[in-house]
Amino acid sequence: MTVRDTLSLSTRMFRTRPMRTALTILGVSVGVGAVLFLVSLGYGLQETILNKITTTDALLSLDVTASKSELIKLNTAGIEKIGALPNVEEVSPIAALSAQVDYHDLTGDATLYVVKPSFFRLSGAVTLKGKFFINNIEGSNTREAVVSSAMAEIMNIDPEKIIGEKINLTIFTVKQNDDGTEDVATMEESEPMTIVGVMQDKTESFVYVPAGILTSATVDSYVSAKVKVTNSAYMKEVSNKMIGMGFFVSALRDTIDQVKKVFNIVQIVLGLFGLVALVVSAIGMFNTMTVMLLERTNEIGIMRSVGVARKDVRKLFLFESMLMGFLGGLGGVVLGYLGGELANLGVNLMAKNFGGQALNLFVRPTWFVLVIIIFSTIIGLFTGVFPARKAARINPLEALRYK
């Protein structure tokens, strides 16, 4: 029997038993679609989270903070020592001050962060609206600021409409006296700051300003610094050297690796849930093939009596089961894709109603789609092995007498 004849006989089930065949394929499609839906949800959540916290520069950056010892301080001298280390490309420190923000007749407390423009690039930060002061250089006269969405809410203004508004800053610094007591010094900035960007943060009221523009306060103590390494291969070496200098060091890359491990587990768990549905559909396909064997016993006897070999009978049943598995895989991809798009649309509509951002929660890697179609075809092959072997072993005379 030629391959063409085998394929022709294999597709005859669509004409003789169209409803049963279609329902069997649909059952496989539901199982495959469930696997694709759940695993693509895992990939989508991973991509959504990682894209928000990672950039190329951020992955090459180390976070440095001062130790609790008063002997090791993260000041200008310490920043210069870190910058002089081999394989360190740039250092972007951040200072934190207490401040009061005045906007028209409204006043609110905030944390004032003094940073270099490179800090945003190295931290992988993004704006909700507007931009960062990335074109500024230290010592420029451009008085720009980036605020949090919480700060905009305190000022009773929509974050989308606060761009271009001006705010006045009053800075508070703690000064230690010779007798051990502390005094709070109040210093008001002589010129207002222009808001050029808003960052999404509803928990903390903060303002970012460029280093070197404050007229009322001098910054020489930093809470942390971003240290960019020239190559990822030197991150461990540079980290160990800064730890040896007495600083605490952490890397976003380590956090990303941990997040990926967690999401790998999540994807496996989600895939197992979908696999349950696929196993149930495979049992249904096995049942269909077994029923087809009983219905076609007499036909198998006729085929054997006219000279069809056992291997051709076996091949016929295997082709039929593989075809159903393959079509079930294709249908599952369609169902999984449509289900993901509908779920994503529903989630984004809810997010929009609650003031959130639209997200793509479903990511389907091409390789995974191809693997799941191949896997479905293989399952079809396995479900047809037993009926195929049994069909090939049927005695032609007994098959002809079978009613």
Q: Judge if 224 and 105 occupy the same domain.
A: yes
Q: In terms of pLDDT, which residue wins out, 69 or 214?
A: 214
Q: How many folded domains does the chain comprise?
A: 2
Question: Is the model's pLDDT at 229 over the cut of 50?
Answer: yes
Q: Judge if 234 and 101 occupy the same domain.
A: yes
Average pLDDT in the 180-186 region? 71
Question: Is the model's pLDDT at 181 over the cut of 70?
Answer: no
Average pLDDT in the 174-183 region? 66
pLDDT for residue 26:
86
Question: Is the model's pLDDT at 53 over the cut of 60?
Answer: no
Q: In terms of pLDDT, which residue wins out, 277 or 91?
A: 91
Q: Judge if 306 and 265 occupy the same domain.
A: yes
Residue 252 lies in a domain: no
Cα(35)–Cα(267) distance, integer angstroms: 10
Q: Judge if 39 and 85 occupy the same domain.
A: no
Hey, what are 367's tokens?
């390789």
Confidence of residue 141 (pLDDT cuts 50, 70, 90): low
Q: 212: how many CB neighbours lie within 10 A of its CB?
A: 14
Cα(11)–Cα(321) distance, integer angstroms: 11
pLDDT for residue 31:
85
pLDDT for residue 138:
47
Q: Of 295, 291, 280, 293, which Cα lies nearest the Cα of 34?
A: 280
Residue 230 lies in a domain: yes
Residue 251 lies in a domain: no
Write out pLDDT tens, residues 285-309.
888 777 777 777 777 777 767 766 7
pTM: 0.58
Confidence of residue 139 (pLDDT cuts 50, 70, 90): very low
Write out pLDDT tens, residues 310-348.
777 777 778 888 888 898 889 989 998 998 889 888 887
Residue 60 lies in a domain: no
> Which of 220-224, 227-231, 392-396 has the least mean pLDDT?
392-396
> Which of 102-106, 108-112, 138-142, 299-303 has the least mean pLDDT?
138-142
pLDDT for residue 29:
87
Q: Which domain holds residue 323?
A: 3-54+257-401
Residue 61 lies in a domain: no
Q: Judge if 389 and 326 occupy the same domain.
A: yes
Question: Is the model's pLDDT at 34 over the cut of 60?
Answer: yes
Write out pLDDT tens, residues 89-104.
888 899 888 888 888 8
Question: Is the model's pLDDT at 113 over the cut of 80?
Answer: yes
Hey, what are 151's tokens?
């700060």
Residue 59 lies in a domain: no
pLDDT for residue 388:
78
Q: In terms of pLDDT, which residue wins out, 258 or 95?
A: 95
> Which of 122-131, 200-209, 256-265, 366-375 has the least mean pLDDT?
256-265
3-state SS, one letter per residue, for the chain: CCHHHHHHHHCCHHHHCHHHHHHHHHHHHHHHHHHHHHHHHHHHHHHHHHHHHCCHHHHCEEEEECCCCCCCCCEHHHHHHHHCCCCEEEEEEEEEEEEEEEECCEEEEEEEEEECCHHHHHHCCCCCEECCCCCCCCCCCCCEEEEEHHHHHHCCCCCCCCCCCEEEEEEEEEEECCCCCEEEEEEECCCCEEEEEEECCCCCCEEEEECCCCCCCCCCECCEEEEEECCHHHHHHHHHHHHHCCCEEEEHHHHHHHHHHHHHHHHHHHHHHHHHHHHHHHHHHHHHHHHHHHHCHHHHHHHHHCCCCHHHHHHHHHHHHHHHHHHHHHHHHHHHHHHHHHHHHHHHHHHHHCCCCCCCCCCCCHHHHHHHHHHHHHHHHHHHHHHHHHHHCCCHHHHHHCC
Q: Judge if 284 and 363 occupy the same domain.
A: yes
- Looking only at the bridges linking them, the beta strands covering 248-251 and 193-199 are unpaired
Question: Is the model's pLDDT at 191 over the cut of 80?
Answer: yes
Q: Which of 199, 216, 246 is the last residue of a domain?
A: 246
Cα(359)–Cα(49) distance, integer angstroms: 10
**What is each CA distance from 222 to 98, 103, 227, in whole angstroms?**
13, 27, 13
**What is each CA distance from 207 to 98, 150, 173, in whole angstroms?**
10, 10, 16
Q: Judge if 218 and 319 occupy the same domain.
A: no
Question: Is the model's pLDDT at 207 over the cut of 50?
Answer: yes
Q: In terms of pLDDT, which residue wins out, 270 or 22?
A: 22
Q: Judge if 240 and 342 occupy the same domain.
A: no
pLDDT for residue 127:
85
Q: Judge if 208 and 268 occupy the same domain.
A: no
Q: Which of 246, 271, 297 is the last residue of a domain?
A: 246
pLDDT for residue 334:
92
Q: Which of 190, 211, 246 is the last residue of a domain?
A: 246
Residue 62 lies in a domain: no
Average pLDDT for the chain? 80
Q: In terms of pLDDT, which residue wins out, 324 or 138?
A: 324
Q: Judge if 87 and 191 occupy the same domain.
A: yes
Q: Judge if 268 and 387 occupy the same domain.
A: yes
Residue 130 lies in a domain: yes
Q: Judge if 179 and 239 occupy the same domain.
A: yes
Average pLDDT in the 144-165 region? 86
